[in-house]
Amino acid sequence: MMKIPAVLTLALLSLTLCTDGKVTRCSLAGFWKNDLGSNMTIDIFENGTFIGKYLTAVSTTNKTILQSPLVGYQQPTDVPLFGFTVRWSFINSITVFTGQCFLDESGQQVLYTTWLLRSEAQNLQDNWSQTRYGCMVT
């Protein structure tokens, strides 16, 4: 039997930080939120590693949604490439994200992200069914 993994809102996160004046570089640091109401907070260290918390707004399971930790790495540029992992704290799944932080025409910071969500297979035969993939443009 195929287990249905939780479909989490991993959709595009758009920056909602209030910024005064013109932004010239994109920074992952801070609070991000997407249209579905999911959000995350990121703290970046000088060495490029970062940690944060991801709070999804939706899931297909009936489990109570809890804030989940994330750990990542970014390249130190003005439009940084990044990758991070979320260990969902309320379900047995892991999601990896990779993408780039951009400034759009209006100077807003946006994240273009691709993700893979892995859930547990009960046996080798079910392995094929337990990875989901998604792309997001915000």
Interface with ligand NAG by CB under 6 A: which residues? Answer: 33, 37-39, 45, 47, 49, 55, 57, 60-62, 127-128, 130-131
As measured in angstroms, the least distance from the Cβ of 50 to ligand NAG is 9
Tell me whether residue 60 or residue 92 sits nearer to ligand NAG (CB atom).
60
As measured in angstroms, the least distance from the Cβ of 49 to ligand NAG is 4
Tell me whether residue 24 or residue 124 sits nearer to ligand NAG (CB atom).
124
Tell me whether residue 21 or residue 39 sits nearer to ligand NAG (CB atom).
39
Exposure pattern of 88-108 as b/e (b: 16+ CB <10 Å)?
bebbebebebebbbebeeeeb
As measured in angstroms, the least distance from the Cβ of 136 to ligand NAG is 17
Task: Give me the long-range contacts of 86-92 (CB less than 8 A, separation at least 24).
Answer: 86/54, 88/6, 88/8, 90/59, 90/61, 90/63, 90/64, 90/65, 90/66, 91/6, 91/59, 91/61, 91/63, 91/119, 92/119, 92/120
Tell me whether residue 24 or residue 86 sits nearer to ligand NAG (CB atom).
86
